[in-house]
């Protein structure tokens, strides 16, 4: 793996906690790498297993579920 590997990570963020946390990180200006692509969901429980498979099929390097 090369030194400048830039993974694409797909995140499913619960609207009430993880997504809110993401917003708070912004308000607090906490810096983190720009590799996450966030999908807002109403609850992390609504993420169907198919969606995770879909993400990997389309080339995601990682999937993170936060809730």
Q: From the list 42, 62, 64, 66, which residue makes contact with other proteins (rule: CB under 8 A)?
A: 42
Mapped to the 3 state alphabet, what secondary structure does 10-67 carry?
EEEEECCCHHHHHHHHHHCCCCCCCCEEEEEECCHHHCCHHHHHHHHHCCCCEEEEEC
Q: Contact at 8 Å (CB) between 64 and 18?
A: no
Site string for other proteins, 2-41 (x = CB under 8 A): ------x-x----x---xx-xxxxxxxxxxxxx--xxxxx
- Considering CB under 8 A, how many residues would be counted as binding other proteins? 37
The residue ranges that bind other proteins (CB under 8 A) are 8, 10, 15, 19-20, 22-34, 37-43, 45-51, 54-55, 58-60
């Amino acid at each position: 793996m090369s030194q400048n590997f830039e993974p694409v990570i797909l995140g499913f963020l619960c609207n009430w906690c993880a997504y809110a946390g993401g917003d708070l990180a912004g308000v607090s200006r906490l810096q983190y790498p720009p590799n996450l692509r966030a999908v807002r969901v109403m609850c992390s429980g609504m993420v169907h297993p198919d969606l995770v498979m879909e993400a990997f099929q389309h080339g995601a390097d990682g999937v993170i579920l936060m809730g």
